[in-house]
Structure 1
Amino acid sequence: MSSSMRIENICPVLGVADIARSLAFYVDCLGFEDAAWGDGQFTYVTRDGGGIYLSTLGHGHPEMWVWVGVEDARAIHDHLVSCGIAIRRGLENKPWALEFHVEDPDGHVLWIGSDPDDGAA
């Protein structure tokens, strides 16, 4: 395949009811940065080279699931719990990942995981 057909990135677009509420979750709790060009209807949040579009314009479907691969799922889990974020499914050590689920304010599920843990979750 030619280099002109290279995929530069793939990002989910999540439909949200309130951009400010979503930014409080993604920026304040998860440490994403909001795009300088974002507005009250459409924006892009990014962290460590990954990103998610947030839209009040009818894009995306309710209750989307997004896999978020991280370096240390346990550390992110513990941080979210300390911030008062409800965990949908607690840490589980699977053969493929140490993972957990958390919902954003619009019911989208972030399925967060890192390499499997040698010990039990």
Structure 2
Amino acid sequence: MNPPDREVECTIPILPVRNLERSVQFYTQTLGFHLDWRGGPVCSVSRDARPIMLKESLTATTSAWVWIGLESDSLFHLYREQGVKVLQEPMNWSWAYEMKFEDPDGNVLWLGTEPRDDLPKQDTP
């Protein structure tokens, strides 16, 4: 048997939530993710085969950030229309065209795609 090409298979963010049921509804019904599995206080939701795990903790006092790389900016508009709390409107930087949303537990969903050539870059004169 040959050794594997890589040691790390994947990385999956685990977001702290105070109410797992509420968070599952938010991620599935509002953001369009699918519930992959659920066991006790933890579950996995995914969109386009890209998972995020949610872990219920009644004492969670911190939130997390997760980068979600996109192929287009269609989700920016969809999430805004769905009433998701916008932390940052779309901005065009030299590294990405990005926007930030917040889930009900204060976790930040940082969505981005390639910089847009048709808009000025915020970080260049």
Q: Where on the TM-score scale, by shorter chain, does this alignment land: which range?
A: 0.7 to 0.9
Q: How does 1:57-96 map to 2 (within 5 A)?
A: 57=57, 62-73=62-73, 75-96=74-95
Aligned residue pairs, count: 118
**TM-score under structure 2 length normalisation:** 0.83
Partner-residue secondary structure (3-state), 2:66: strand
Runs of 4+ in 1 over 2 A off after TM superposition: 57-61
Map 1:27-106; keep pairs closer than 5 Å: 27-36=28-37, 38-39=38-39, 41-57=41-57, 62-73=62-73, 75-106=74-105
Question: Partners in 2 of 1:104 and 1:117 — Cα distance?
Answer: 26
Distance change >3 Å, CA 4–CA 22, structure 1 → 2: same
CA RMSD of superposed structures (Å): 2.2
- Separation in structure 2 between the aligned mates of residue 23 and residue 52 of structure 1, nearest angstrom: 11
Structure having the larger proportion of residues in strand = 2
| Contact 2:18 2:60 survives alignment (8 Å) | no
Larger radius of gyration: 2
Deviations for 1:59-113, whole angstroms, at most 9, x for unmatched residues? 987221111101113x111101111112110000011111000001100101100
SS at match of 2:12: coil
User: Is structure 2 residue 119 aligned with structure 1 residue 120?
Assistant: yes
Question: Which consecutive residues of structure 1, in runs of 5 or more, have no partner in the other structure?
Answer: none
Conserved in 1, the CA contact under 8 Å of 2:84 and 2:103?
no
Unaligned runs of 5+ in 2: 121-125
TM-score normalised by length of structure 1: 0.86
With over 3 angstroms needed to count, the CA separation of the structure-2 counterparts of 1:60 and 1:116, relative to structure 1, is farther
The structure carrying a bigger helix percent of its residues is 1
